[in-house]
Amino acid sequence: MTAASMGRAQSVAARIRDDFFPWAIALATGLDYFDNSIFSFFTSYIAGGINASTDELVWSSSAYAVMSVLGILQQQWWIERIGFRRYLAGCLFLFAAGGVVAALSESSLELAFARGVQGYFIGPMMSACRIFIQKKFTPQRRPMAVKLFLFMILIGSGLAPLIGAYLVA
């Protein structure tokens, strides 16, 4: 391989990474809105799945909210130690792991624990992504990244009831 072809390959890889990275950031925040919308719209179905009353599921929502605040408070500590990219990737991975635990929950206590894990790792995504957009994108590329960010929030909130209804039906 010549130096010129290697330079072109690296340039193409950098361009692809630069084009898809705003989508990844936007997806992280959209996922938070999607998850909360699904949970709030289909609480009665979730309660039936774990044999709990809808009142018991309030603990799951509370655990999510409290752990989100805790995650936001500890966000800077994590970012200083592992960096923004690793923080975002780790949060998404651990949020997904919390989702698996939530899906396998058989009681309201297990679900509250799983939702707490999810809240801790996805709750800070809104602020983390907004900070990341301001730091990592040039002023020329920032409007496009902000548009994608806001678009995914809208899509995540809007599609959750439709997809949930399809899955329930």
pLDDT at 45 over 90: no
Output the pTM of the full model.
Answer: 0.79
Residue 69 is predicted with a pLDDT of 93
pLDDT at 27 over 70: yes
**Averaged pLDDT for residues 109-114:** 93
Domain 31-168 has CATH 1.20.1250.20: yes
CA distance 13 to 111: 41
The pLDDT-based confidence of 131 (bands split at 50, 70, 90) is confident
The pLDDT-based confidence of 9 (bands split at 50, 70, 90) is low
